[in-house]
Amino acid sequence: MSILIDSSTKVLVQGLGKTGQFHTDKAIAYGTNMVGAVHPSRAGETFTFQGETDHSGVPGRPDTYEVDLPVYATVRQAVEETGATVSVVYVPPPFAADAIMEAAAAGIELVIAITEGIPVADMIVAKRYLQGTDTRLVGPNCPGVITPGECKIGIMPGYIHQRGKIGVVSRSGTLTYEAVHQLTQLGLGQTTAVGIGGDPVNGTNFVDVLQMFEADPETEGVIMIGEIGGSAEEEAAEFVKSMSKPVAGFIAGTTAPPGKRMGHAGAIVSGGSGTAEAKIAAMQAAGIVVADTPSEMGEAMAKALG
């Protein structure tokens, strides 16, 4: 099993500019079931994606692929025509929040927003809107979600992932890749890897993903990667106390100069809260095996498993 996405997931792409085209092609090569695109000014066109299959996905897949992706004017039209339940957003920042809300209005179950730099005020409006829907948002400013060998939605490199028993959840895209690579090198494949993004206003949080991994029978351990700023990691640590599965973790930002804003928009330390030290202490108190450096994340997960 997995969480959020699998081989049967039908995916739309919102925003088919250069970035959207590039990563849609990579997703199709991996085996993701991309069924349509939404781009109002190009509605009625068809984009053809073709090339060599990414064999880091499912063994036995044909060596090449050719997919004709229809382009629709609206998400609602695309959903009606394709039956898509998930969308991935590559829409430019000024329009991305509207794209998220349009997807929710059309009944999309899961929106994965890759776009970086969406204005905070726009995301506040979008998040308030989503509260009245059944739509789950992952992101924005995130690398996406991948269930190895089944479905890749976002910008992560597929070849480093391997099917297995470890769930991955992270605020940092780069550290997600590093953790996954280390796990794979140690023979610890992944059930699903979820990049929740580092913006101060986002959708799915650590606790949401930890709950899903706790309920997933295939997931036997979880690695959680956080960073300075906010209280999300402390809240997650409190939830971990009730989990039956081992958890490892890492907090980025231990060397950040006091009073400096570092990295993601959400990495803001204020009033003495949100420090790396406080987060690490909370995680260790919850029984989480915390890596001291990024190079030790995989080893921390192996240690947590026992």
AA identity, residue 58 = V
- Inform me whether the pLDDT recorded for 264 exceeds 80: no
Distance between CA atoms of residues 159 and 239, nearest Å: 32
Rounded Cα distance between 193 and 191, Å, is 7
**Domain covering 162-305, topology:** Rossmann fold (3.40.50)
Instruction: Name which of 173, 181, 138, 169 is nearest 248 in CA terms.
Output: 169
Q: Can you give the pLDDT at residue 215?
A: 98
> Among candidates 198, 222, 195, which has minimal Cα distance to 274?
198
Q: What is the tens place of the pLDDT at every residue in 178-202? A: 999 999 999 999 999 999 998 989 9
What is the pLDDT at residue 63? Answer: 86
d(CA 102, CA 55): 34
Across all residues in the chain, what is the average pLDDT? 93
Assign 184 to helix, strand or coil: helix
The model's confidence at residue 300, banded by pLDDT at 50, 70 and 90, is very high
**3-state SS string for 190-247:** EEEEEECCCCCCCCCCHHHHHHHHHHCCCCCEEEEEEECCCCHHHHHHHHHCCCCCCE
- Which listed residue (23, 39, 161, 264) is catalytic? 264
Q: Enumerate the β-bridge partners of residue 252.
A: 227
The pLDDT score that the predictor gives to residue 132 is 87
Looking at residue 258, what is its pLDDT? 61
Domains 10-138 and 162-305 share a fold: yes
Collapse the DSSP code of 136 into the 3-class scheme (helix H, G, I; strand E, B; otherwise coil) and give the result: strand
Higher pLDDT, 274 or 176: 176
For residues 48 and 28, give the distance between their C-alpha atoms in angstroms, rounded to a whole number.
11
| pLDDT tens per residue, range 203-248 | 999 999 999 999 999 999 999 999 988 889 999 999 999 999 999 9
**pLDDT for residue 3 is more than 70:** yes
78 or 267: which leads in pLDDT: 78
Q: What pLDDT is recorded for position 301?
A: 98
Give the model's pLDDT for residue 185: 98
What's the pLDDT score for residue 72?
98
Structure tokens belonging to residue 159: 């070849």
Q: Residue 269 above 70 pLDDT?
A: no
Which DSSP category does 57 fall into? Answer: S
Residues in the chain: 306
pLDDT band at 277 (very low <50, low <70, confident <90, very high): very high
The yes-or-no answer on residue 39 being catalytic is: no
Going by pLDDT thresholds of 50, 70 and 90, the confidence category of residue 271 is very low
Order of all β-strands in the sheet with 163-170: 151-154, 144-147, 190-195, 163-170, 221-227, 247-252, 289-290
Average of per-residue pLDDT across 282-306:
97
Instruction: Supply the pLDDT for residue 181.
Output: 98
Render pLDDT for 119-145 as a digit per residue (tens, 0 to 9): 999 999 999 999 989 999 999 999 999
At the top level of CATH, which class does the domain 10-138 belong to?
Answer: alpha beta
- Other beta carbons less than 10 A from residue 17's beta carbon: 11
Distance CA 252, CA 215 (A): 27
Average pLDDT over residues 250-272: 61
Mean pLDDT, residues 266-286 taken together: 77
In this structure, what token pair is assigned to residue 163? 């099917």
Where exactly are the structural domains of the chain? 10-138, 162-305
Q: Is the pLDDT of residue 282 over 70?
A: yes
pLDDT in tens, 35-76: 999 999 999 999 999 999 886 656 677 889 999 999 999 999
**47 CB-side CA count, 13 A:** 24
